[in-house]
Structure formats: structure tokens, C-alpha cells
Amino acid sequence: SVADMKGLKQGYLKITVVTTAKYVIPRLLGPFCQRYPGVEISLKVTNHSGVLERLSENKDDLYILSQVPDEPDVKSHPFLANPLVVLANHDHPLAKEKNIPIQQLAEQPFITRESGSGTRAYVQQLFDAHKITPKVKMELASNEAIKQAIAGGLGISILSRHTIALEGASGQIAILDVENFPIPCHWYVIHLAGKQLSVVAQTFLEYLQTEGKQIAEDTTW
């Protein structure tokens, strides 16, 4: 790899990822940092618009998100599937149903992510396409807080399946079997097209697309 050729010993790597990717990326940093102990990493987690803002200000080496922007000019590399699923309390009556028509979601108290969230944008697109107006009960800017709200019986939501990877669907939160789900999203690693990547950034990008991807696929879904 590039790293071996150049004898990578130390360096600084700055990454910003969307909130859904925080369920995967920190775990992948473990083996990478063990291999390159001199590399120091700063990882920022924000929503889709937060990532775009940092990208436009050239704040980081690499970014991870689902919707690749048209502007500014970026190079993008497909990384991992990020399916969006309908989540409900395990005791919810719909948890036992199969092939729930998507229209039924309009009947349920709904917990939505904040505006600026890519997850929210995907959900909005699907709802618009099916002319569904959700009964929004609450808006929360945190996947974890939404999970807690679901566990507390406040309503249902649509989040990345990665948000429940650690506990699985066997815990307090169930994945509902709704028609048109999961929404098939995909994460991309991107960087400014005009930016010369550092050896560390190039090495991490390679790692993500090969071993990192493998580890994530083996340890998630």
C-alpha cells in the first residue's frame, strides 16, 4: 500500500461523518490505529448539512455521508450500505404484522430528525412520493434520543439500521416490516476534488474500502 511504500509513521487525520456513521467508523479506527500507532485522528460527527458546511470550508481530509453533493466538486467512493428502517417499540401492535402498507405509517405518532439531517430528507422524499403526511409528535436531533423516545412509547421513527447494530432488533426496539422499506441508502467517502490527500488520508481511504468495509460488514448486518 501507499503507507508501506512511504513508511507511514505519523500524521494527523481529520474526518467528519454523518450521525449514522458514528455507529460504524469508531470501531474501524481501532485496527487502523493499532497498525499505525503514530497516526492521530480527529473524528467529528454532525448531520448532513453540518458535513457539507465543513466540506465547503475545507476543514477535513475525508467526509462520510449518504447524498453526494453536486457542489463543491468532490471525488466520491462508495463505502457501505446504510438502509433506513422503520423502528417501533417492541410491544407495538404493528411489530407482529407482515407487509404493513406504507400508508399505515400516517396513523402513527412519528418522531422525526431535525431539518438538515440526510435521514430526514430521505424519509421526506419517500413520504412525498406516497403522499403521506406523518403525524409528527416530536423532533429530535439525535438518533440515540429518538431510540429512547421509541423505547418510552412516544411513537415510531425511521432511522439507519446501523443505529441499533449493537443491541440488534431483539432489544426494546423492533424493525417493522413495512412495504417500500428499507430505504436503500449508501454511504460514500468523499473529499474535495482539488485536494491533494495526505499519505495518512490516502491510506485510511484505502483501508475503509477494503478491510474496514469487511470488518463493518462482518460485525453489523
Smallest separation, CB 179 to ligand PGA (Å):
22
Question: Please, which residue, 100 or 114, has the CB nearer to ligand PGA?
Answer: 114
With binding defined as CB under 6 A, does residue 113 bind ligand PGA? Answer: yes
Question: Please, which residue, 64 or 200, has the CB nearer to ligand PGA?
Answer: 64
Question: Please, which residue, 19 or 108, has the CB nearer to ligand PGA?
Answer: 19
Out of 11, 118, 155, 212, the residue judged to bind ligand PGA by CB under 6 A:
118
What one-character DSSP code corresponds to residue 165?
T
Evaluate whether 183 touches 138 at the Cβ level (below 8 Å): no
User: Which residue(s) pair with 74 in the sheet?
Assistant: 192
Q: Which of 119, 129, 113, 105 is nearest to 65 (CA)?
A: 119
Question: Please, which residue, 67 or 198, has the CB nearer to ligand PGA?
Answer: 67
Question: In angstroms, rounded to a whole number, what is the distance separating the alpha carbons of residues 210 and 89?
Answer: 36
How far from 197 is each of 5, 14, 70, 74, CA to CA, in Å? Answer: 16, 11, 20, 12
Q: Is 111 left (phi over 0), alpha (psi -120 to 50) or beta?
A: beta
Interface segment toward ligand PGA; rule CB under 6 A; list 5-13, 15-23, 24-32, 175-183: 15-23
Question: In angstroms, rounded to a whole number, what is the distance separating the alpha carbons of residues 83 and 183?
Answer: 6
Amino acid at residue number 119: T
Question: Please, which residue, 32 or 187, has the CB nearer to ligand PGA?
Answer: 187
State which of positions 36-95 bind ligand PGA (CB under 6 A).
47-48, 65-67, 82
Give me the residues that bind ligand PGA (CB under 6 A), please: 18-20, 47-48, 65-67, 82, 113, 117-119
